[in-house]
Structure 1
Amino acid sequence: MLLDRSRHTAGTTTLIGVVLLALNLRAAIAALSPLLPDVQADLGLSNVTAGLLTTLPVLCFGLFAPVATLLGRWIGGRPALLAAMVGIVLGSAVRTVPGMWWMLVGTVLIGIAITIGNVLVPAVVKQDFALRQGTVTALTTAALTGGAALAAGVAAPLAQTALGWQGAQLMVGGLAVVAAVVWAPQLRHRHTTVAVPAGGPSVLTSPVTWALATIMGTQSLVYYALLAWLPALLRDGGVSAADAGLALGLFNLLGIATAVATPVLAARLIDQRRLGVAVGAVWAAGLAGLLVAPAWYLLWAAVTGLAQGAGIGLALALIVLRARNSQSARRLSGTVQFIGYLMGAAGPLLFGMLYDASAGWSVPLAALVLASVTMAAAGYRAGRDRPV
């Protein structure tokens, strides 16, 4: 009886810790966006450098995903996740030091730290919550999305106080301090897992891995492209700055609901092929709506917002569901995110290049519709009950 109660308490503590970890996996990035005008004015940054501050973290998500996988193997997932929270705190502090280079260094530190969390949180879910992996993945995905919305919402008001933009950055970074304090006791727990030889078959040999990487890549590409360009697209169509901001807010906030629902639904289904096709189809419908009926932009912002939450929720859920065990989940997560986030980092750049080349928004929007169709096809392939 006491042993069962102890295990229940440990499981609850781990769950709270995992959710707090996830809360920090976008917050420090999202908080910088509304502060960029102040940062540019204070540090004298060019538009190119300011744009780099939003692109660098996504590049880190891809480039350092294999490193995060190795770090989890070398020191263990729990210590690595604690180090990730420390990295977010340090990066947030470094970004407050005067000078452009310190801002870039701090941004890279934050990007690397978040990458560790991106890769290793699914492995912890697979290891500790095998019987509730859909529900826990839903909670972590919701925390990730909600943390970004919360940070974006409070950063500007905080910056208007005596704290300034530097203090606002530190306050958001303080969320990682809370997560680190709650997570630190996890280092005392030992968990038995199924051993997987380091020299075993590479996850790259599985077609499922490539289907998962395509889902992660296309949903990241479409999401980051729309996140970066939706306000400009709407402003060019005659929408006011306030209404364009409302549309962007809908796009971000409505994703929380589907980020919660999609992993739970995916875990209850033996076969997720129809779900994968549906997520890509909703993305395509919302983007096509912006293309052919832009006057209904709030509706399309809502549709794409629901799609983006479902997209990241499905991608993370399928990584957990398709992995055989926690070691496999760690390797699969690192590989899928390496490929996927490199594609995602290219989204805003490619969208802008297509806009410049075509002198309009039709061609870049059509390209995003095509990416969504590709996402649906990959969802059908990865949705089959076939472990990596």
Structure 2
Amino acid sequence: MTRSQSSVGEHPAGARPAGPPAGPLTLLGVVLLALNLRAAIAGLAPLLPDVRLELGLGSGTAGLLTTLPVLCFGLISPFAALLGRRIGVQRSLLMAMLVILAGSLVRAAPGIWWLLAGTVLIGAGITVGNVLVPSAVKQDFPQRQGAVTALTTAALTGGAALAAAVTAPLAHTGLGWRGALLVVGAPAAVAAVVWLPQLRRRHVAPPVRLGGAAVLRSPVTWALAAFMGMQSLTYYAMLAWLPTLLRDGGVSAADAGWALALFNLLGIATAVLTPTLAARRGDQRGLGLLVCLTWAACLLGLLAAPSWYLVWATIGGLAQGAGIGLALTLLVLRARTPESARDLSGTVQSVGYLLGATGPVLVGVLHDGSGGWTFPLTTLCVAVAAMAVAVLGAGRDRQV
């Protein structure tokens, strides 16, 4: 179904926001929410060698610490969509920030089990934000979907970059790795406070249900899920293991952390640009293939010339920002209403992140089994090829 065919009658009469209209405070709140949707995960990656040393963890278990939140994304996403239906998007997003904050406090406690429990809480809170922020964007900013999605994606990527940059230096100032992780979890409290006024804004949903089973029957949904899955698998594998890969090659801990920060920071530019470009055109297949080619250049570069790691971190950063920006934009563009955006987001992110959750563990296991990084990086190249096939379906101009 094309966009022109689906636009007629997609907003039934009576669907309207109750309370004050969306304004600058709403926009600031959405951006601050997005800022916390990767930071707590990215902040752990530069500290993994220190965590492994203190707790005596193997590569597979260390990879699990990065995989657990992504696994939560996959398992909890359908329930996050249900939570949005039950108590509303605004209350659900406030709850998400409070859970992230609680998880940050729990994982700072001594012992591996507290670390794992806090990581799961953080993953659960981020999952609710992942699923419902696209719905909030479509609901509160229907005329500025591309621009606001660009801002939220930039905030998401920027939060990850900042966390990756500061945790290693903070850990060596006397705070230790636990104190550093507490610092990167603190902005969730700020987001919660700024978001509080949104509880006065209640949206009266139309009685027509355009999501649910219809979402599951659409081939667009599964193409989007495959694209997001391969993008997530590649991104989270790199997020978890790029510093370790570089440190195994003789790069210092601080330089490896800065390379990961560069990987995340440079994604901000493409995270801003890609949603705007995608929203201006009906067909996004060419843009998606360009993203895949850029990912391939990063991985092949690390294989062929690892000493040029700053170049490949730069290229990979541009690729991951564009990839997540395109994936989140397609969730908005391929949905007909805020309600279908919520259900499509829940379904796609559930399947996509379940696939993505395998990335850090898979790379850790392949590294331990092969004794090097060639086999893991080659496997990620295969994932990028699958991503390219998926975007041919996800990028077509049609809606769920």
TM-score by length of 2: 0.87
Counterpart of 2:99? 87
Displacement, 1:101? Answer: 2.0
Displacement, 1:318? Answer: 0.3
Displacement, 1:17? Answer: 0.4
The 1:283–1:198 alpha-carbon spacing in structure 2 relative to 1, beyond 3 Å, is closer
Partner SS, residue 191 of structure 1: strand
Counterpart of 2:214? 202
Corresponding pairs, count: 381
Choose 369-378 or 57-66, whichever is displaced more: 369-378
2:282 pairs with 1:270: yes
Counterpart of 2:326? 314
Choose 360-369 or 267-276, whichever is displaced more: 360-369
2:70 pairs with 1:58: yes
The question of whether the paired residues in 1 share the 8 Å contact of 2:75 and 2:350 is answered with yes
Displacement, 1:377? Answer: 2.0
Decide which structure has greater helix share.
Answer: 1
Write the deviation string for residues 316-347 of structure 1: whole angstroms up to 9, x where unpaired. 01001101111111111111111111111111
Q: Which amino acid counterpart does residue 362 of structure 1 have in structure 2?
A: T
Q: Which amino acid counterpart does residue 130 of structure 1 have in structure 2?
A: P
Counterpart of 2:185? 173
Displacement, 1:315? Answer: 0.4
Write the deviation string for residues 211-237 of structure 1: whole angstroms up to 9, x where unpaired. 111111111111122223334444555
* 5+ long unaligned stretches in structure 2: 1-18
Higher relative contact order (CA 8 A, sep 6+): 2
Write the deviation string for residues 35-94 of structure 1: whole angstroms up to 9, x where unpaired. 44555566x353354433222111111111111111111111110000011111111122
Q: Which amino acid counterpart does residue 361 of structure 1 have in structure 2?
A: W
Displacement, 1:198? Answer: 8.1
Counterpart of 2:344? 332
Counterpart of 2:57? 46
Alignment of 1:326-365 (within 5 A): 326-365=338-377
The question of whether the paired residues in 2 share the 8 Å contact of 1:194 and 1:325 is answered with no
Displacement, 1:162? Answer: 5.6
Q: Which amino acid counterpart does residue 339 of structure 2 have in structure 1?
A: Q
Choose 239-248 or 54-63, whichever is displaced more: 239-248
2:111 pairs with 1:99: yes
Rounded to whole Å, the distance in 2 between the matches of 1:39 and 1:359 is: 21
2:297 pairs with 1:285: yes
Write the deviation string for residues 251-306 of structure 1: whole angstroms up to 9, x where unpaired. 22211111111111111112211111111121122222333344443322221111
Q: Which amino acid counterpart does residue 340 of structure 1 have in structure 2?
A: G
Rounded to whole Å, the distance in 2 between the matches of 1:243 and 1:167 is: 21
Counterpart of 1:113? 125
Counterpart of 2:141? 129
Rounded to whole Å, the distance in 2 between the matches of 1:247 and 1:167 is: 22
Choose 78-87 or 231-240, whichever is displaced more: 231-240
Counterpart of 1:145? 157
Alignment of 1:9-48 (within 5 A): 10-36=22-48, 39=51, 44-47=55-58
Rounded to whole Å, the distance in 2 between the matches of 1:378 and 1:199 is: 22
Q: Which amino acid counterpart does residue 57 of structure 2 have in structure 1?
A: S
Q: Which amino acid counterpart does residue 42 of structure 2 have in structure 1?
A: A
Q: Which amino acid counterpart does residue 324 of structure 1 have in structure 2?
A: R
TM-score by length of 1: 0.90
Write the deviation string for residues 169-218 of structure 1: whole angstroms up to 9, x where unpaired. 33322211111111111111123444333885331211111111111111
Displacement, 1:141? Answer: 0.7
The question of whether the paired residues in 2 share the 8 Å contact of 1:280 and 1:379 is answered with no
Write the deviation string for residues 124-143 of structure 1: whole angstroms up to 9, x where unpaired. 01111111111111111111
The question of whether the paired residues in 1 share the 8 Å contact of 2:230 and 2:383 is answered with yes
Counterpart of 1:371? 383
Displacement, 1:116? Answer: 0.3
Displacement, 1:241? Answer: 5.5
Rounded to whole Å, the distance in 2 between the matches of 1:297 and 1:137 is: 30
The 1:321–1:377 alpha-carbon spacing in structure 2 relative to 1, beyond 3 Å, is same
The question of whether the paired residues in 1 share the 8 Å contact of 2:209 and 2:339 is answered with no
The question of whether the paired residues in 2 share the 8 Å contact of 1:127 and 1:193 is answered with no
Rounded to whole Å, the distance in 2 between the matches of 1:289 and 1:93 is: 39
Counterpart of 1:3? none
The 1:246–1:149 alpha-carbon spacing in structure 2 relative to 1, beyond 3 Å, is closer
* 5+ long unaligned stretches in structure 1: 1-5
Q: CA RMSD in A?
A: 2.4
Choose 82-91 or 288-297, whichever is displaced more: 288-297
Rounded to whole Å, the distance in 1 between the matches of 2:78 and 2:394 is: 21
